Structure 1
Amino acid sequence: MTEETDVVVVGGGIAGLITARELGRQGLRVTVLEARDRLGGRVWTDHRLGRDLEIGGTWLHWVQPHAWAEVTRYGLDITRGPRPEQAYWLAGDERRTGTLDEFMELIDPGMRRLLADTMQRIPRPHAPLSEPGLESADAFSVQDKLDELDLPVEEYRANEAAWVGHFNAPLTDGAFTSALRWTAATAGSWHLMHEASAVFRLVGGTRSLVESIVADTDADIRTGTAAHRIEHDADGAVVTTSDGGAIRARRVVLTLPQNILGELDVTPELCAEKRAATEEGTASRGVKVWIRVRGPIKPFFAYSSASHPLSVARTEFLGEDDAVLVSFGADSSRISPHDTAAVADALRVWRDDLEVLEVTGHDWMADPHSRETWLMQRPQQLTRYFAAQQRAEGVLHFAGSDYANVWAGFIDGAIESGLRVAREVRTGLTTSP
C-alpha cells in the first residue's frame, strides 16, 4: 500500500527540519525520513567525558543571520569556552609559547595578504558566483596561494595550521575559494571570520536547537527510516523506504551531503554535475577529537602544522581536577578519536605535561550517512558544480548546508538552505496546475 503526502523530506538534519517546519506552516503534509536513530544530522550533542559534547557542528555567531534568528526565535542561550591564557605553536620543529594575541599578530600579515582580494572576488557572498572571473581563483588550492606568499617558516607554519583547523582537510585539496567565501561572509575580516567559526556555542548544545525546531512542527518525523529509492516524474515522486514502505508525494526535498547524494537510487538519475561532485568528493576528511586531561590546567590554544596528526587543540571545559580539550586534524585516517595513546602522543608536540584520561569522537568519514565533516570544496567545484547542486530537478529539490550561499558548511548555512528550498517548494506547488 502506498501512502500519500504533500512533501517528503529526506534527512532529519537542521536543513530538513527547517524545511519541514516552514512547509508545515503553509498547511502542507510533510513526512521526514531520517536514516539515523537520532535527529540533527552532522550536529550531535552527546554526553561523554562527563560533559555534553558537540560531536559534530558546534559554533555560531551573531554575524550568521539565519542561525541568530533561530537563537532569538527560541530564546536559546549562548556561551563560550574559557579564554586561553597560553598559546603554543611551532617554528619549524621548535616550540614557541606566548599569548593568543601574540599568535594572532604572528599570522596577521599572512592572513591579510592571502585574503586581500576577498571582496573583489566575492563582493556579494549571498551570490557567490555573481562576479565574473571567479574561475581563475577557483583553480587554486589554499596551499597553492599560501606557498605564493613565501612567508618565514614560523609565520608559514602558523598560518598553515590555522587553515587546517578551518578546513578540516589537507590544504592541497581545499579550494582557495572556500577560504574566500568564509571571509567574504564577514566582509573581508579574517579576525571576525576566525571568531565566528570557532568561539561561541549554545548553552544547551545543538540539541536544544534541534529540539526547538522539532517542537515547532507537526511533520511526521520518522527516525531509523532511510529513503531507499526515488522514482519521479512531472506529477510527483514515489519514495521507497528501507523498511519496504512506499510514499507518494507531490515534491521531495533531498538534504543529503555532497559525498553521498549521488549514491541514492534515483530514477531518472540526477544531473551529471551532482553525480560528478559526489564522485570527486569534498576536500574535508578530517577528525575532531574530544580529550579529557587531568587538571587543574590553565586554558590554552595550540597550533602545530598540516604534517601533524592533530593541528589544533584548545581548552573547552575546565573542572576542578580535569579539563576537556577539543582538537582537530586534517586526515581522519592518521589518527582515531578513540585511540587514547595516539592522541596523548599527538599532544606532546606542544606539551609534555598533559595526562590524557579519556578521548572520544566520531568518524564522520566512515559514517555512511555523511562520509564528510563540514563542507570544504575542492578546486573548481564551486564554479563547476555549485549552481547545479542548488538547482531543482523537476519535483526534486535540494537543501543542506553543503548547498548554502553564505555560510556553507555551518549551521547557518543549513538554515538558509532549508528556508530557500521551502520557499521554492511552496511556490512550485502554488503555481503548478
Structure 2
Amino acid sequence: MSNSQPVIVVGAGFAGVTAARELTRRGRQVVLLEARDRIGGRTYYTEKLGRKLELGGTWVHWFQPHVWAEVTRYGAELTQSPAPEKGYWIVGGCRHEGTADEMLDLLDTGARALGEDSLRLIPHPYAPYEVEAGSAAEAALLAADKLTVADKIAQLDLSDDQRELLDAFWTLSLSGPTNVGGYLQALRWHALCGGDWLLMFEACATYRLKNGTASLLQAILDDSDADLRLGAEVTAIDHDPAGVRVRLADGSTVAGSAVVVTLPLNALGSITVSPALAEGKQAAAREGQTSQGVKVWARVRGIVPPFAALAPAGHPLQLAQLEYTVDGDSLVVALGADSTAVDFADREAVQEVLRAWIPDIDVVDVAHHDWVADPYTRETWPMQRAGQLTGALAELRRPEGRFFLAGSDYARGWMGFIDGAIESGLDVARAVDAALNS
C-alpha cells in the first residue's frame, strides 16, 4: 500500500465529515463510509409531529469556537429556544410551581458551589489533563478525578431541596447517574464558560440552527471531494505500517493509507481491529462512559406558556421545556437519564410522566430515537465517568500507527457537543496528514 491510496473515514457525523473536508483540502483522497442511510451521526434532523425536529444533538453557542467558526464560514442562521416563564420542579417528593427564575434561584447556590473550583483545577480547558508531572496541580487534578458528581454534591453545604435539585440538574447534564459521572466532566463545561454556570447553561440549551443541524453538516460535506458511501457498515479493520484494510458487512473490502474511526466510545468494541488496539483503549471501551439517557418530543394539545421543568433522578425525565408551536399545538422536548425508564414511544406513558409536572397536559403524539439501543452509538452525548479524564482521554486520543479515533467522545474541549466533534475532526485530519507526509 502507499499514501496515494485514500484515507478511509468511518462515520459521517460532524467529526467524520469535518475530517473528510480537511483531508480533501490537503489533497488527500477520502472514502467516507457511513453505516446508516443518512449522514449526521448523533444529529438527526427529520420531520416529526408536524415539523422538522432535532432527535439528537441540537444546541450551539458562540462560546463553542469550532462550531461557531463553521456557522460563520457557511452563513448559518440561529434561532433561540423560548425563554421560560413558568417553572415546575419536583423535590422532596412534592411538585412545585412558580416562575422560572424562582426555580433557577433555588438551583443557583448549589450550581455555583459545585463549579467554583473549575478554573483552579482546569485553568486551560482545551488542555484539561496536561499538567506538570509531580506538581501540586497534578495531585489536585488526580484527586478530583476520583470523585463523581454525587460525591461532590454530598460535600456541599446545601439544604435538602437545593441538593436534590442540583442532583437533578447534573443527572440531566450527564444523561446518566451522578454516582457514575465524573466531577471533572462537570468542571470541564464550567471552565469552558469562564467558570460561570449560568453561561454554561445558556451554552448548553438555548441556541439552535434555524435550518437544522443537517444544513450545516451538508455544507461541510459539500465543501469536500469525499466519496460518500451510505449503507456501508464496517465490521473489521486490519492496519499495519503499510496501510489499512476495512471490511464491510456485505463482504467487500476497502483499502487505504490510513483510517479515521468516529464511533462513540460505547460502540467502539463493535468493530474487530487487528492488531488489537492498546489495552488502555479497550479498557475504556469496555467501561464505557456515563450517558444512557433519552430525548423525547411530545406534541401537546393547545398553546402552553413557555416553561422549564426539572425532576430528580428517580423520575423518568429530568427536564422538559417548550420549544415550538405548530398548528395550534405545542411541541415540548424532554430529556431523561435512563432510556429504559418507560416506553418513550408510548404516548400515554410520556403523558403520565409529564403530568407529574403539569397535571392537565394533554399529549397528542410523541417521537424519539433510542440512541442507547442504536448499535452505531449505544449512548447519547458523551460524558466521562470519574477517573476517565486523567485515566483514559490521552490514550484514546493517541493514534496507533495508521489508526486514528475522532469524535466528540475524544474531544479536548466541548465533549458532548457538536463543537467537540468538529474540534476532533480538525485535530485528527491534521494528524493524519502529518503522519502520511512523514
Residue 8 of structure 2 corresponds to 8
| Distance in 2, Cα, partners of 1:368 & 1:319 | 33
| Distance in 2, Cα, partners of 1:299 & 1:349 | 17
Query: Contact 1:337–1:362 at 8 Å: present in 2 too?
Result: no
Residue 225 of structure 1 corresponds to 232
CA deviations 1:352-410 (Å, max 9, x no partner) are: 11001001101111100000000111111121111010000001111111000010110
336, 344, 366: which one aligns with 1:329: 336
Tell me if 1:348 matches 2:355.
yes
Tell me if 1:18 matches 2:18.
yes
Unaligned runs of 5+ in 1: none
Residue 397 of structure 1 corresponds to 404
Query: Contact 2:50–2:326 at 8 Å: present in 1 too?
Result: no
User: Partner letter of residue 58 of structure 2?
Assistant: T
User: Partner letter of residue 314 of structure 1?
Assistant: Q
Residue 222 of structure 2 corresponds to 215
CA deviations 1:81-126 (Å, max 9, x no partner) are: 2221211112312222222222222111111111111111111011
Q: Per the alignment, in what secondary structure is the counterpart of residue 56 of structure 2? A: coil
Residue 346 of structure 2 corresponds to 339
Q: Per the alignment, in what secondary structure is the counterpart of residue 392 of structure 2? A: helix
| Distance in 2, Cα, partners of 1:357 & 1:253 | 43
| Distance in 1, Cα, partners of 2:289 & 2:225 | 34
Residue 265 of structure 2 corresponds to 258
Alignment map for 1:170-249 (pairs within 5 Å): 170-249=177-256
Residue 311 of structure 2 corresponds to 304
User: Partner letter of residue 219 of structure 2?
Assistant: S
Query: Contact 1:5–1:247 at 8 Å: present in 2 too?
Result: no
| Distance in 2, Cα, partners of 1:267 & 1:296 | 56
Residue 290 of structure 1 corresponds to 297
| Distance in 2, Cα, partners of 1:84 & 1:192 | 16
| Distance in 1, Cα, partners of 2:183 & 2:91 | 24
Query: Contact 2:235–2:270 at 8 Å: present in 1 too?
Result: no
139, 147, 151: which one aligns with 2:154: 147
Deviates more, 1:58-67 or 1:245-254: 245-254
User: Partner letter of residue 59 of structure 1?
Assistant: W
Deviates more, 1:68-77 or 1:161-170: 161-170
Deviates more, 1:222-231 or 1:153-162: 153-162
| Distance in 2, Cα, partners of 1:292 & 1:176 | 35
User: Partner letter of residue 50 of structure 1?
Assistant: G
CA deviations 1:269-325 (Å, max 9, x no partner) are: 011111111111111001111011001211111111111001110000023521000
Query: Contact 2:111–2:166 at 8 Å: present in 1 too?
Result: yes
Residue 74 of structure 2 corresponds to 74
Q: TM-score, normalised by structure 2?
A: 0.96
137, 145, 160: which one aligns with 2:167: 160
How many pairs were matched up?
430
Q: Per the alignment, in what secondary structure is the counterpart of residue 60 of structure 2? A: coil
| Distance in 2, Cα, partners of 1:408 & 1:314 | 23
Query: Contact 2:6–2:28 at 8 Å: present in 1 too?
Result: yes
Q: TM-score, normalised by structure 1?
A: 0.97
User: Partner letter of residue 233 of structure 2?
Assistant: A
Shift of 1:5: 2.9
| Distance in 2, Cα, partners of 1:300 & 1:205 | 22
Shift of 1:243: 2.1
387, 392, 403: which one aligns with 1:385: 392
Query: Contact 1:290–1:337 at 8 Å: present in 2 too?
Result: no
Alignment map for 1:342-381 (pairs within 5 Å): 342-381=349-388
Residue 424 of structure 1 corresponds to 431
Shift of 1:341: 1.2
Alignment map for 1:74-153 (pairs within 5 Å): 74-131=74-131, 132-133=138-139, 134-153=141-160
Shift of 1:183: 0.7
Shift of 1:150: 4.2
Shift of 1:412: 0.2
Residue 60 of structure 2 corresponds to 60
| Distance in 2, Cα, partners of 1:262 & 1:135 | 27
Query: Contact 1:386–1:403 at 8 Å: present in 2 too?
Result: yes
| Distance in 2, Cα, partners of 1:153 & 1:408 | 30
Deviates more, 1:104-113 or 1:116-125: 104-113
310, 320, 325: which one aligns with 1:318: 325
Q: Per the alignment, in what secondary structure is the counterpart of residue 417 of structure 1? A: helix
| Distance in 2, Cα, partners of 1:154 & 1:320 | 38
Query: Contact 2:91–2:312 at 8 Å: present in 1 too?
Result: no
Shift of 1:266: 0.9
Q: Per the alignment, in what secondary structure is the counterpart of residue 296 of structure 2? A: strand
